[in-house]
Structure 1
Amino acid sequence: MINFRFFQGFVTSIQDFPISVNDESEGCYKMISVEDGTGALVNFVVSPTTYFVDQAVVSVGDRVTGYYDGDAPVPLIYPPQYAALVMVKEQPHQNVKVDFFTSQLVSRDGQLQLNLSPYTQLLLTNGQPFTTNPANRNLIVIYGPSTKSIPAQTTPYRIIVWC
């Protein structure tokens, strides 16, 4: 189970990030710098396996949320540098939650409960249909309105199952 953490802010720069001395990975990895508006800065290392919600192309100035494994080792440098697992380009009227969801479809942090409908799309990260129960898994949940209860309840538009 991944301990998903996130950082949200505006993209301040995007650069190629070399990971080895040979040229075969040149251009495959990016460093995306994000500032939250209060001066906090994070660098996300984006790899070919980083999942971009809606395959969105991110540019300088975009508001994004980057998710990373809070238990993964990181270099002790400033600004912090995390391997991005999921990147979300923020869109109006669309919310995204990345977390482990229990057998009751409640997020591990207890903040969101999912109510599935026949119209909720269940997909794998490769875009193929997911045909079993999404409970007890890491999920990327795309949803709109939710209740103001705790946990908030929503009927998601789409769920991407992180196998």
Structure 2
Amino acid sequence: MANYLSVYGVVNSLTPFQTSVTGQSCSVLLSVTAQSQGQINFVVNLQTFVLEQHTFRPGEPVIGIYDTSVPVPLIYPPQYQAVVLAPNRDGSMAALDYFDDDLLNTDQTIRLNIPADGSTEILMTNGQYYLYNPGGHYLFFLYTSASASTPAEITPQKVIVFCSPE
């Protein structure tokens, strides 16, 4: 089962990531100085979800999420396949996990509160509004605070619903 970890840092550089003999690919290596891990690299390819299709530049704050269950090469700096990348303009925190219909995550440590007033933007990965209960899906969300209770109560600013193919 996927287990996602969030990394917060600043973009150092973006370079082409060669995955073929011809040296051409549709992947980029995003080098980041992470707050807690130091230098790391994210491989960004066509499967990486980039919030708002943002184009990153050196010096920008970034949130990167990767799957800890995916094998990685034993190199320095560490190199992870980016699952989600998001600009971090306002010092937000982020997470990606599966949430049930009651909006409780898999290890029951987070419960999402979605206000009825529409103040939380709920979108699909294609940028369109998701008009149903987002539970029962993997959800990426941005937030600024969480309660100290167990499970932590979080009212996200934005939720991205990763729908399964129909």
Specify the TM-score bucket, using the shorter chain as the normaliser. Answer: 0.7 to 0.9
Instruction: Tell me the amino acid that sits aligned with residue 44 of structure 1.
Output: F
Amino acid in the other structure paired with 2:81: A
Q: Partners of 2:132 and 2:64 in 1: how far apart?
A: 28
In 1, the alpha carbon distance for the partners of 2:121 and 2:35 equals: 34
Query: Where does structure 2 lack aligned partners over 5 or more consecutive residues?
Result: none
Match of 1:83 in 2: 81
Q: Given the alignment, which residue of 108, 111, 118 partners 2:106?
A: 108
Q: Does 1:121 align with 2:121?
A: yes
SS in structure 1 of the partner of residue 70 of structure 2: coil
Q: Is the contact made by 1:100 and 1:138 (CA closer than 8 Å) also made in structure 2?
A: yes
Identical-pair percentage: 37
Distance 1:54 1:145 in 2: 22
- State the Cα RMSD in Å: 2.4
Equivalence for 2:16 = 16
Any conservation in 1 of the 2:9–2:34 contact (CA below 8 Å)? yes
| TM-score under structure 1 length normalisation | 0.82
Match of 1:54 in 2: 52
Q: Deviations over 1:94-117 (max 9, x none)?
A: 443222223331233544321123
- 2:94 corresponds in structure 1 to 96
Q: 1:142 and 1:117 mapped to 2: Cα distance?
A: 15
- What is the CA distance between 1:70 and its match in structure 2? 0.8
- Whole-Å separation in 2 of the counterparts to 1:92 and 1:142: 10
Q: How many residues align?
A: 161
- In the TM superposition, residue 30 of structure 1 has moved relative to its aligned partner by 0.7
Secondary structure of the 1:84 match is strand
Distance 1:53 1:77 in 2: 28
1:37, CA displacement in angstroms? 4.7
Gaps of 5+ in 1: none
User: What amino acid does structure 1 have at the position aligned with 2:123?
Assistant: L
Asked whether the 8 Å contact 1:17–1:30 carries over to 2, the reply is yes
Are the aligned partners of 2:66 and 2:82 in contact in 1 as well (CA < 8 Å)?
Answer: yes
Q: Is the 8 A contact 2:6 2:94 kept in 1?
A: no
Are the counterparts in 2 of residues 138 and 161 from structure 1 also a CA contact under 8 Å?
yes
TM-score normalised by the chain length of structure 2: 0.81
Distance 1:106 1:130, change over 3 A: same
